[in-house]
Structure 1
Amino acid sequence: MNRIQQQANPLHQQRGFTLLEIILALALTATLMTMLTAGMFSVVRDWDNNASTLEDNLDESIAILQLERALQGAFPHSYRDPETLGRHVYFEGESDQLSWVSTVSPERRDGLTAWRLFWRGDEGVYLQLAPALSDDPTARLDDAEPRLLLPGYRASFQYLYEDLEFDRLWREDWPAFTFSVLPFAVHIHLEPIDDRNVETLDIVAPVNARQHRSIRPNLELIP
């Protein structure tokens, strides 16, 4: 009997955790969970910031690629002037905006698409699109809703031509209504409006189809 009691005594001597030990364990667990949660939120926040920057860069790159393709696909779209009944080539190039007709359409429309680029105040570069059809698309472009394509940028345009001595030079306007021919290339210079840490961008796109097959260019008017 004594031997059984001696073997049972160690069991009676074992005891559970005290309340203080439980409180300390819970406090340590809560501290570790707080540190882990804070680290996780920091990683997620950094990931979101990097992902947002990447998306902005991708959107910007896609927009620039679309513009370059649309300029390369510029087409000497002709229309009839209802007053003179003469035919003219549509391409309105100025130093701060550009309107042209292209075989490229970001909306995958059939036929030719009229494009217009301009920049507005401190907002950025806007784009308008309209079907070119067979007439002057200016009115349809005026009615088209502008879309903010490159926020935070201002744009300036130059147009490459060849003078009578076969030297290629840049000019700040291109009235195809008068010249009846498209420029050799278009240069779009994009610079940030504010002091953001953003580099300037340049698009130099050669125009593949310059002349209309049935309209003679007025090359002598190009200085």
Structure 2
Amino acid sequence: MGAHRHRRAGARPRADPRDREVARLPDRREGQLGRQARRRDRQHAHGGRRARVAGSAVAVRRDQRGFTLLEILLALAIVGALVVIAFSTVRIAVASWRQGEDRAEAYQHLRGVALTLARTVGGAYPYNAPRGDTPAASLLFGGSASSLEFVTQTAPFPGSVPIAFTAVVIELGTTGEQRGLVIRQRLLPNRNPFTDAVVVFNDPTLTELAFSYLDDSGAWQDTWDVETQKRLPKAIRIAVGGTLNGRAQALLPLTVPLRVGTEAQ
């Protein structure tokens, strides 16, 4: 191993005559490892790479695409149907609410009128005075199925001057200008307390009015004649009904007990 006489100056390796001479290789600098591919193989490789790139681009475009026209039309149709259903529901709810309000208003109106009548009838008093021009006094009370004449200490519509007794007529008008519930009153003492009474209230929406009178036996009578009874009834039952906004309403009858004048005179 090493050069012959390597310790001397100018030592050189000894050539072996049996060694073959090796041809010189040209210097091609740095290059890629391996054998260079043929042109057709290179085109095939580049084509596959381009195909893969194009395929990935198509996949990206497919993933990023928007809605089709059919999908948009279908979505708009669904939204329109939901809007129509919502508005229909709201319209039905508003109509039901209005009907409920009208019914409550009609009921409240009837109830207010019935309570006014009950308060007035509850103050009935056995007042004796002439009915007409004759001086003969009688008990001022008369009742039928649809009208009531009496004297009360609680006027339905008090005047500006406080008066102890007021003659009141409550009836159901069916003819003439005054239809429906009619209330007339006249201050006492006065002549013709019932026939000359002035109308103070008229409600055409009240189309039903009925009175019943309780006798000593506990039976209800449709009429009350003071000429034979000589006293006021034990109680009076009042039934009212009417039509408001085209809807018929009726209340349960109110029973009003009378406090004085129920004993025979």
What is the TM-score of this pair, normalised by structure 2? 0.55
Structure whose residues are more often helix by fraction:
1
Residues 1:199 and 1:106: Cα distance change in structure 2 (over 3 Å): closer
Find out whether 1:116 has 2:173 as its counterpart: no
Give the equivalent residue in structure 1 for 2:138. Answer: 88
Question: Helix, strand or coil: the match of 1:28?
Answer: helix
Q: 1:19 to 1:77 in 2, by over 3 A?
A: farther
State how many pairs are aligned. Answer: 194
- Map 1:159-174; keep pairs closer than 5 Å: 159-162=213-216, 167=217, 169-174=219-224
Q: Select 1:139's aligned residue among 183, 195, 198.
A: 195
Structure 2's unaligned 5+ residue stretches are 1-56
Q: In structure 2, what is the equivalent of residue 158 of structure 1?
A: 212
**What is the CA deviation profile of residues 155-179 of structure 1, one whole-angstrom value per residue up to 9, with x for unaligned ones?**
2x332344xxxx5554443244676
Q: CA deviation at 1:49?
A: 1.7
Residue 130 (str. 1) matches residue 181 (str. 2)? no
Alpha-carbon distance in structure 2 between the residues aligned to 1:172 and 1:184: 14
Rg bigger for which structure?
Answer: 2
Preserved contact between residue 63 and residue 149 of structure 1 (Cα < 8 Å): no
> Hey, what's the Cα distance between the residues in 1 that align with 2:172 and 2:100?
30
Corresponding position of 1:58:
108
Per the alignment, residue 260 of structure 2 pairs with 209
Bigger strand share: 1
CA deviations on 1:60-90 (whole Å, 9 max, x unpaired) are 3333322222221112344335643233332
Matches for 1:172-191 after TM superposition, within 5 Å: 172-176=222-226, 181-188=231-238
Q: CA RMSD in A?
A: 4.0
TM-score of the superposition, structure 1-length normalised? Answer: 0.63
- Give the structure 2 partner of residue 3 of structure 1: none
| Contact 1:96 1:119 (C-alpha < 8 Å) held by counterparts | no
Unaligned runs of 5+ in 1: 1-8, 212-216
